[in-house]
Amino acid sequence: MKRIAILTGGGDAPGLNAVIRAVVKTACQEYACEVLGVKDGFDGFITPGGVFPLTLQDVRGILPRGGTILGAANRGNPFARKVLRDGQEVVEDTSVQVIANLRALELDALIVVGGDGTLHIAQELAELNVPVVGVPKTIDNDIGGTEVTFGFDTAVNTATEAIDKLHTTAESHHRVMVLELMGRDAGFITLHAGLAGGADIILIPEIPFRYETLYQKVEDRKQRGSPFSIVAVAEGAHPAGESVVVARAGDSVYVPRLGGIGQAVAEHIAAACRVETRVTVLGHLQRGGSPTPFDRVLATRLGAAAVRLADAGGFGRMVAINGGRITDLPLSEALAVPRRVDPHGDTVRTARGLGICLGD
């Protein structure tokens, strides 16, 4: 193995720089292999100066840094790249150009670090014989084939800290504080932060809720001398019978996202329970900041494993962690079934046992 490249795509997650560092260090030191960095996801293959050497010097000091030194473009799907033309968002297929430029670099492997969307692109490229190795990344923890993704632990920490802070002000003012959290169609961040922060109500997409159940919980707490409540609601949570369309990274790259389910929950509770409610949308704070030690270690192990997998010719595959051990599996298998919270699993059962309202 003489030359590999690495890119990061889709929404960023704390730990991306730890992966980049591990790839460069392992490739340079263990395999004497040159590493190229690709800027802004797949866009780097079609923009001038988008591919450049990545040296040991370049990755010095980046381990604790959030974000990605390589950048990550939301519109950069080479098969359907979104661009503005005459003020209109149009989609163009740049895959032929991307693949031609990629082949000209004579790479032994391309390491693609990404979530669901980026890894699907990686799989398409692998089917076109591009030597791709995938590394799963997302704060949402929603990728199949791996028991956890890096970025998730940091996001849960940030969300838990927010719940802790909301608790004190909720109690002082006898209010119901609603915290809307990310996760797209998965409720992992909300469930874990809700448990860690001692939320009274946890609403996740995997368990559709009924407003009456929420009112009942708020009233019960009032009766028992706690005239305040904390509601952790996932952005993809929805009342039974209704669905919520959650914006996906790259869906509408030129349009800002506006208020969501947190606002609706707060308005309903205020009207039905005659209590003051306030909403906090934690948003992209969950994607920023320094990765936790857990995420740093996981990202480092996955980055190093990706280099080893590339050297072994494991193309079209994704590194993963299962039972605490590093494994790998075909990208197609990992992407076939997204990970979701098991509504009958131990974590949900534990929450119910503690008296937390899941809204159903």
d(CA 168, CA 206): 29
Least separation, in Å, of the C-beta of 323 and ligand F6P?
Answer: 25
Least separation, in Å, of the C-beta of 89 and ligand F6P?
Answer: 14
Among 7, 8, 11, 207, binds ligand F6P (CB under 6 A): 11
175 among the known binding-site residues? yes
Up-side HSE of residue 186: CA atoms within 13 Å toward CB? Answer: 21
Query: Burial, 44: exposed, middle or buried (Cβ in 10 Å; 0-12, 13-18, 19+)?
Result: buried
Catalytic residue among 108, 140, 311, 328: 140
Nearer to ligand F6P, 234 or 302 (CB): 234
Q: Which residues contact 346 (CB under 8 A, 6 or more apart)?
A: none
Q: What are the backbone angles phi and psi of residue 218, rounded to the nearest 5°? A: -65, -45
356 among the known binding-site residues? no
Give, as ranges, the residues between 299 and 358 that touch ligand F6P (CB under 6 A).
none
Nearer to ligand F6P, 74 or 277 (CB): 74
287 among the known binding-site residues? yes
d(CA 62, CA 17): 6
Least separation, in Å, of the C-beta of 83 and ligand F6P?
Answer: 16
340 among the known binding-site residues? no
Nearer to ligand F6P, 11 or 44 (CB): 11
Give, as ranges, the residues between 155 and 214 that touch ligand F6P (CB under 6 A).
182-184
Maximum Cα–Cα distance for the chain, whole Å? 71
Least separation, in Å, of the C-beta of 247 and ligand F6P?
Answer: 6
93 among the known binding-site residues? no
CA-based radius of gyration for the chain = 22
- 3-state secondary structure at position 257: coil
Query: Is 86 a catalytic site residue?
Result: no
Q: How many helices (H) and strands (E) does the chain have?
A: 11, 13
Give, as ranges, the residues between 231 and 270 that touch ligand F6P (CB under 6 A).
235, 246, 249, 257
CB 128 within 8 A of CB 319: no
Nearer to ligand F6P, 26 or 292 (CB): 292
d(CA 317, CA 339): 18
Amino acid at 128: L
- The Cα-based distances of 126 to 120, 134, 315 in angstroms read 10, 10, 7
139 among the known binding-site residues? yes
Torsion of CA 100, 101, 103, 108, to 10 degrees: -150
115 among the known binding-site residues? yes
Q: Which of 156, 157, 159, 179 is nearest to 229 (CA)?
A: 179
Mind giving me the DSSP string for 301-325? HHHHHHHHHHHTT-TTEEEEEETTE
Least separation, in Å, of the C-beta of 245 and ligand F6P?
Answer: 11
Q: Cβ-closest residue to ligand F6P?
A: 182
Give, as ranges, the residues between 82 and 141 that touch ligand F6P (CB under 6 A).
115, 138-140
Among 39, 175, 287, 317, binds ligand F6P (CB under 6 A): 287
Least separation, in Å, of the C-beta of 333 and ligand F6P?
Answer: 21
Q: Does 15 bind ligand F6P (CB under 6 A)?
A: no
d(CA 134, CA 94): 21
Binding residue numbers:
11, 75-76, 115-118, 138-140, 175, 182-184, 235, 278, 284-287
Binding residue numbers for ATP:
11, 75-76, 115-118
Q: Give me the active site residues, please.
A: 140
Binding residue numbers for substrate:
138-140, 175, 182-184, 235, 278, 284-287
Binding residue numbers for Mg(2+):
116
Using CB under 6 A, list all residues that contact ligand F6P.
11, 74, 115, 138-140, 182-184, 235, 246, 249, 257, 287
